[in-house]
């Protein structure tokens, strides 16, 4: 340990010989490390946010018939769940389960008497839905519906604008029943809401579950969304529920989150390429700094060789010098990234709405211990390796050539 500290001290003193060059090298290594950590932290934050959003939207687990997930329906709820109430009670008995939400999904027409347009309707247990999911909808006007109310709806903002409807307006819903007949029901608008996705808001309708079932003339539901207390319980509970209810299909939120998968794959490619570019820049900067330092000290290296210093000892010293420069810059970059990440928690910065959305979101950078640890380790290895490769030829050249270097 004492020998290592001595060599580290020598490396530090050598790095201070040319303070300006060392400062530039440290700065570039610090900025590269900070950029890499900030980009990776933003990607991790995005993954976590999309995962939570997907799980909150559908449920950590979704239970339905196998045909519900693999086949199109000729009539509404053709592949729906019968006798779902006992199944709901059985799943609620699991200790990891927070709530089980039934859902009826169907399409049809909605009319104000003068104009009709296509709707994408969702029948929900409103009280449980909003209690579990929280404010997943932004209320633009009026109020959310309650489970005890009947024949009341919430409209998407775009749909309400198209129909010139607002809280208190009377509309008519038309849809095919499970038997293929046409049925209609008069409803009252309770509220106007926005999901933040403009195309979805042009078609969205929420209504209470009994009214949806009455409109479709059925007691079925499309699926049961299972919401858990902890995301980590998703896979184990899926296996248990699949084994206990073999006639049904139990999907995880990840199985249904196509948008999450697409964004994750895209970001992995983008930030993977960015990380590679930054690592190469830091590698070449440290290698250039060490090459200049070694050229300037070639005669000194020859003198040390003549005095009995072995090439291995010289290579160790020069490699540690590279570690001091690159590693010091990496530590400074990690501190800079940590400071910016903490600052964004105190001083929020709003990002513009992503494509297809109508509302922005606060910028946050995830602070992940393993990410910081691996980044620092990679930077240390790269800078030490680059310094060793640059120094290897000089420390092994003949002593006479080194002493004669000009």
Judge whether 25 and 289 are in contact, CB under 8 Å.
yes
The H or E element that residue 97 is part of is strand 97-111
What are the C-alpha distances in Å from 66 to residues 40, 179, 287?
Answer: 38, 21, 59
Q: What mean pLDDT comes out for the span 331-337?
A: 91
Q: What mean pLDDT comes out for the span 26-37?
A: 86
- SS3 (DSSP) at 81: strand
Domain ranges of the chain: 2-53+260-403, 66-247
pLDDT the model gives residue 155 = 93
302 pLDDT higher than 80: no
Q: Which residues contact 50 (CB under 8 A, 6 or more apart)?
A: 257, 259, 260, 263, 264
Judge whether 39 and 274 are in contact, CB under 8 Å.
yes
With tokens 């930054």, the residue in question is 278
pTM of the model: 0.77
pLDDT the model gives residue 187 = 94
pLDDT the model gives residue 6 = 67
Residue 206, beta-bridge partner list: 122, 154
pLDDT tens-digit readout, 118-153? 999 999 988 888 888 766 678 889 888 888 889 999
pLDDT the model gives residue 356 = 61
Q: Which residues contact 70 (CB under 8 A, 6 or more apart)?
A: none
pLDDT the model gives residue 102 = 93
Angle, vertex CA 30, rays to CA 28 and CA 36, nearest 5: 100
pLDDT tens-digit readout, 230-241? 888 899 999 999
pLDDT the model gives residue 4 = 61
Q: How far apart are CA 127 and CA 147, in angstroms?
A: 5
């Amino acid at each position: 340990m004492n020998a290592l500290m001595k060599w580290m001290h020598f490396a530090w003193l050598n790095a201070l010989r040319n303070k300006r060059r060392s400062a530039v090298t440290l700065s570039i290594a610090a900025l590269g490390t900070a950029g890499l950590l900030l980009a990776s932290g933003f990607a991790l934050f995005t993954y976590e946010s999309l995962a939570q959003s997907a799980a909150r939207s559908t449920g950590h687990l979704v239970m339905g018939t196998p045909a519900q997930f693999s086949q199109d329906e000729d009539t509404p709820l053709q592949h729906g769940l019968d006798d779902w109430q006992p199944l709901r009670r059985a799943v609620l008995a699991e200790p990891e389960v927070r709530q089980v939400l039934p859902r009826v999904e169907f399409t049809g027409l909605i009319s104000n008497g003068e104009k009709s347009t296509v709707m994408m309707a969702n029948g929900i247990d409103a009280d449980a839905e909003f209690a579990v999911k929280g404010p997943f909808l932004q209320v633009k006007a009026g109020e959310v519906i309650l489970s005890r109310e009947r024949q009341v709806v919430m409209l998407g903002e775009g749909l309400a604008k198209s129909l010139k409807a607002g809280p208190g307006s009377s509309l008519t819903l038309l849809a095919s029943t499970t038997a293929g007949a046409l049925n209609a029901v008069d409803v009252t608008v309770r509220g106007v809401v926005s999901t933040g996705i403009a195309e979805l808001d042009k078609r969205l309708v929420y209504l209470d579950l009994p009214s949806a079932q009455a409109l479709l003339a059925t007691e079925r539901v499309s699926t049961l969304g299972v919401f858990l207390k902890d995301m980590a319980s998703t896979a184990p509970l899926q296996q248990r529920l699949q084994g206990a209810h073999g006639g049904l299909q139990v999907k995880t939120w990840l199985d249904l989150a196509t948008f999450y998968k697409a964004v994750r794959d895209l970001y992995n490619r983008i930030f993977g390429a960015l990380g590679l570019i930054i690592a190469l820049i830091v590698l070449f900067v440290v290698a250039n700094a060490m090459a200049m330092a070694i050229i300037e000290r070639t005669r000194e290296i020859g003198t040390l060789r003549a005095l009995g210093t072995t090439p291995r000892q010289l290579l160790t010293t020069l490699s540690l010098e590279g570690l001091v420069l690159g590693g010091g810059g990496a530590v400074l970059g990690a501190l800079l990234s940590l400071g910016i990440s903490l600052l964004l928690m105190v001083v929020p910065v709003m990002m513009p709405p992503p494509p297809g959305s109508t509302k922005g979101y606060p910028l946050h950078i995830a602070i992940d211990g393993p990410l910081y640890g691996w980044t620092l380790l990679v930077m240390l290895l790269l800078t030490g390796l680059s310094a060793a490769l640059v120094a290897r030829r000089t420390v092994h050249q003949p002593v006479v050539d080194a002493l004669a270097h000009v």
